Structure 1
C-alpha cells in the first residue's frame, strides 16, 4: 500500500511539473486558447497565386519554394513550424485581448506581455556575411555597409518614403525596433556561377561556407543564385545548418547592378521571412491569409510601382509593404501586426529567444 501511495504522489508531482513547464512559453499569464485551423505551410507554386496580376518581373523571392522542398525532405519540420506558429498566436492573443489571428481570447490586461522588456526594448541582431565571390558580380565593403544601414532604416521606421503612406495605412506603420550590426565578413573564391536554391552555398563540403552559430547570429549568404531570383530565406523552425538568408550578389545593399532592385530591400524582405512573416498576399487567393490581422487580403503579388489604390479582394492592397514584390523604392513599411509576429520569436519559448539571452 505504501508503494502505491508513493507512486501516486510521484505521479502527481510529475503532472504539476509538466503543467508548470507548459506555461513557461509566455510568462506571467495563462496560455491563451488559439484556433489553428487556418494554418498552412505547403503552397502551390505552379501558378504562385497570381492569377489576374502581372508577372512582369517574375517570382523574385523563392522562400516558399524552398519551404516546400524542406517540408518534403524533413518530415518533422511541419510540426516544428506548427509549434512556432501556435506560440506566436498565443503571445498575440494574450497581448491583445480584443482579437487576434487564430481567434484566440485574451487574458487580464494586467498580464499583457507587451509590457515585458523583451517585447518593448530594442533587439540587436549581429550579422555574419558569407560571400561566395564571383568576379562578374563583385560584392564590396560599401555594398555590405549600406545593406546593414538599410536594414536598420527599415526595421526602425526610418525609411523616408513612409511619410507618403496612404491615410488608411499610415496609423499601422510599425517601428520594429530591431538593430542589425555587422559581426564579420567571410569571403571565399568560387568558380561556381549559379548556386540555385538547394542550400549548397551553406555547406563548405559543397563549395559554400558553413553557418556561424545560427542561434546567435543571422547568417547572410551572398552569391549568384541564378534564374532571376533575388533571394530566399529559411523560416523559423528549420535546420540550424541552413538557417539564414541568401541574397543575389547584385542585390545586396545600394548596388547599381541591381537596377530597380538595387536599393537593399531584398534583404529587408527576406529577413522578414526569417522573422516569421509570410508574403502579404498569403501565397494564395483572397481567402488564404498571411496570419496578420491588419494587412488587407489580396489574391497575389504586386509588381513595379503600383498606384494607390490598387484594389483586389474588395480592398486596397498594401503594395508598399516590405513583404510584397514591388520595386525597392516603392516598399517602405511593416505593420503593427507584423511587428507582433516578429517580436513573438524573442520572448521566452520563442524560436529566436537565444538572440536576447
Structure 2
C-alpha cells in the first residue's frame, strides 16, 4: 500500500494534529514496560516555543522532496562522528567505554544492513529493504557527575548552565547524551531544523548499547537506531496518528504503534487490507522485533546530506 507524499504546505498541518500531549514528559521512576519515545512530544513543545521552527522544517521538507524527485546523490561516503555525553549519578549510569562502543557497533550494523536479523525480513518486504550506507565513528566521550535523579525531556542535559553538557560542534558531530531520562522514556531526538544548541539524541543510560539483561527487551541498542532515525528526518511509521502518513512511500500504512514482537503477517486495520511492516526501526516494537529500514527511508535520509541539505556538513 503506497502513501501520498505531502506538499510542504500540507506537511505543516501535521505539526498541529499529531498528538494532544504538547508538554514534554515529566520525570518519574516508573518501570518501562512498553517502548516510549518522546520525540514527537518534544517537537510539539518546540513548535509552540518557536513559531519559526515550522517554517524551517517546511523548507527542509520541500528540499527533501525535490532531492528525492531529482534523485540527487551524495558525493562521497557519509561517516558520522559521534560524541557521547555521559551524565551520571550512580556507577551504573556511568556507562563504560566498552558499552558505548557497543552502541556505535550496533548503529554501524543497522545502518549498513549488516545486522544478523536482516535476513529475517519477510519476502514481501525484502524488495524495499535498504542498506542506508552510513557509518558512525566514536569521536569522543565527555563525562560529568550530577546529583540529578532524572533529567526529563526539556533538554536540560544539553546545557552546562542547567547542569548538563553542551553539544560538541553540532554542525559536524552527532551528539548523544546518555543519562537517566525518567517518565518511562527510553529516548528522544531532535528533528533537522531545530536549534543547534539542542541538536542530537538522548538515550536513557539503561538502554544504551548492548546493555544488561535487566534492560530487556530494550537491551540490543535499537533505541539509538530508532532515535538516530528521527535525527535523520524519519517519522514514526504510523505517522503519529491513526493510519497516518510517515512521508515515506514504501512503508505500508500502520494503524498505530506496534509493541512486543508481532507475528508476521500482521494484518492492518487500515484499508485496503495489507500487512504492516512491524519490523521497521521506526515502529515501537522490542529491540529484537525491529531490523530494517526501507529504500524510501533511505531517500529521505540521503537528502539531508547532499549539498544544501540540512546536515550537509557531516561526513563527506
TM-score, structure 1 normalization: 0.80
Unaligned regions of 5+ residues in structure 1, if any? 1-33, 48-55, 96-112
Q: Which has the higher contact order (CA 8 A, sep 6+)?
A: 2
CA contact (8 A) 1:283 1:300 kept: yes
Residue in 2 aligned with 1:163?
119
1:132 maps onto 2:87 in alignment: yes
1:171, 1:38 → 2: CA distance?
29
Secondary structure of residue in 1 paired with 2:313: helix
Q: Residue deviations 1:50-96, cap 9 Å, x none?
A: xxxxxx9445100000000000111100000000011000111112x
Q: Residue deviations 1:235-273, cap 9 Å, x none?
A: 000000000000001011000142110110000000000
Shift of 1:176: 0.6
2:10, 2:250 → 1: CA distance?
17
Q: Quick one: which of 64, 68, 81 aligns to 1:92? A: 68
CA contact (8 A) 2:9 2:58 kept: no
Pair member with larger Rg: 1
Unaligned regions of 5+ residues in structure 2, if any? 1-5, 23-31
TM-score, structure 2 normalization: 0.90
Q: Quick one: which of 321, 330, 352 aligns to 2:280? A: 321
1:293, 1:170 → 2: CA distance?
15
Residue in 1 aligned with 2:223?
266
Residue in 1 aligned with 2:197?
241
CA contact (8 A) 1:57 1:303 kept: no
Q: Quick one: which of 293, 304, 316 aligns to 1:345? A: 304
2:79, 2:20 → 1: CA distance?
34
1:293, 1:164 → 2: CA distance?
22
2:286, 2:128 → 1: CA distance?
21
Q: Work out the number of aligned pairs and report it.
A: 294
Q: Residue deviations 1:74-119, cap 9 Å, x none?
A: 1100000000011000111112xxxxxxxxxxxxxxxxx2xx442x
CA-based RMSD of the aligned residues comes to 1.6
Secondary structure of residue in 1 paired with 2:202: strand
Q: Quick one: which of 135, 141, 155 aligns to 1:199? A: 155
1:294, 1:134 → 2: CA distance?
43
> Closer, same or farther in 2 for the Cα pair 1:46/1:76, shift >3 Å?
closer
